[in-house]
Amino acid sequence: MNAITLLRLAAMLLLLIGSLGARAGGRLPCQEARVFGEAAVNAFVLPYRDARSDTQPHGSASWRLPALIQQEVLMSLLKYGSVGVVEVTQNGTAVCDVREVIARATQGTGSGRLKPGHGLVLIWGRIYEDGPQLYVQSYLRFLRRDEADAITVALPARTGPPLLLDATLPAQAVAMPPRRISQKDIREIEAQARKALVLHDRPDPNANPQPFVTDPETPFSYGVTKTNGDWMYITTLGRGGWVRVRNEASGWSLRRFLPELAYLDAVAGYLRLRAARVVPLTVNPVRLMGHVDAGFAEFDQAVGADAAPDARALARAMRGLLQWQADAIQPTDESRRSAALAFAEAASLTPESPMLRNLAAVSAPYRTLPIKTGAEALAEVDAGLLGALALDGGNPLVLRNLERVYDRLAAEEAQTVYDAQELKRRQVLVRAVPRSGTLRN
């Protein structure tokens, strides 16, 4: 394993596990945002702007918090391998627009541009200071370049080819519930982080600990040369030693205060598994799936059953997509049953989402084993799709799926869902409905 990179721990960090090479500079302004091209998944920590001034004053909580988030994200994502983590800052009062950052990182080719099929997750937010207390709201966005987060469901037919229906995630962005953290908490986390990030002579927490970083504001080089369990051996500034990948339960973890970092952890795992086709995994995919489950479960427990329904629903949909179709994990009827149940739960959490209704509808026959087939399955799918269409009457994906269902019903012998005249009327109506958006194949 060989990865040499110039980094700034409190500003820009890179971790590449698995025969990757990369180079990086210091803290990057929004106008120069770039990814580590060889990494399967990149994470951007964007500014947490002061809610009053809409700026990121040097030395303020809005300046210090992203640096801590970056350290947290780097250490937690080590387990996925082939990951780059970058802090992106704003200059003065210039707004760091997320859409522009994504465009710079994903458009074109060459150094610093996200490669097709590779993943990117971004986190940013706002901070409101009220004396010793801080109120923080975070936002997450994720994507894979030139790839849709979609599945095609093949419904078995009694005779003939299966019926193919399409579904996508309802969103690739989510707002997190506001959280409270004190200035004192941040100072303590900073102090504990300095103590936790140390070098050892051997992979043993009691083996001659030495500071990993003496001045986090000073750029330095380090190389990851080998790993041993949850330890990695690095060389930096003419010396080397073992650093332990911090356990998420460590006392200095920001995740105690900002559970959205556990959610980001799970999203990165989701992207890593989805990117396995273009960057082969170096870690057992079942183990990675366990990390995804753990991150989402930690978030659920922290926010409670009645909070953040959109985030919780999206998490279930993402997990379902992995169970249904992940290049690194061979799906089975049982895994697809679990996925279909996850889609149904997601739709129940946010019943106002037509895309989740669609996802739950097309997979409905898989909720029971053996899988439902024939007119019985089509009737169940039809009912779910009509529920989605009631929320978005021109949704092109839902309309296309309905059209396929009605065409298949028309081809079924002795189907009893609709009489011939009613079925013909529905076919005509579905084809006549104006589509409200662009359907991506």
Peptide bond into 178 cis (omega under 30): no
* Residue in this structure with the two tokens 């439902």, named with its chain if needed: 372
The token pair that represents 289 in the structure block: 């799936």
Tell me which DSSP letter residue 365 carries: G
pLDDT (0 to 100) of residue 432: 94
Sequence-distant (≥ 6) Cβ neighbours of residue 3 within 8 angstroms: 14, 15, 16, 17, 20, 21, 22, 223, 224
Instruction: Look up residue 308 and give its amino acid.
Output: A
The token pair that represents 441 in the structure block: 């194949």
User: What are the residue ranges of helices labelled H in 134-259?
Assistant: 183-196
**pLDDT per residue as tens, the chain (441 positions):** 332 233 333 233 444 433 333 323 235 788 888 888 888 999 999 999 888 887 777 778 888 898 888 878 877 887 888 888 888 888 766 788 999 999 999 988 877 899 999 999 999 999 999 989 999 999 999 999 999 999 999 998 877 899 999 999 999 999 999 999 999 999 888 887 777 678 888 999 888 888 766 544 433 444 456 678 778 777 655 677 887 765 544 555 799 999 999 999 999 999 999 999 999 998 899 999 999 999 999 999 999 988 999 999 999 999 999 999 877 788 899 999 999 999 999 999 999 999 999 999 999 999 999 999 988 899 999 999 999 999 999 999 999 999 999 999 998 877 788 999 999 999 999 999 988 764 443
Task: Provide the sign of the torsion angle of the four alpha carbons 177, 44, 3, 213, taken in this order.
Answer: negative
Secondary structure (DSSP) of 19-81: S------S-EEGGG----TT-SEEEEEEEEEETTTSS--TTSHHHHHHHHHHHHHHHHHGGG-
pLDDT (0 to 100) of residue 106: 94
The token pair that represents 421 in the structure block: 């005249």
Dihedrals phi, psi of 234, to nearest 5 degrees: -125, 155
Closest CA to 343 of 331, 358, 329: 358
pLDDT (0 to 100) of residue 193: 74
Dihedrals phi, psi of 396, to nearest 5 degrees: -65, -35
pLDDT (0 to 100) of residue 52: 84
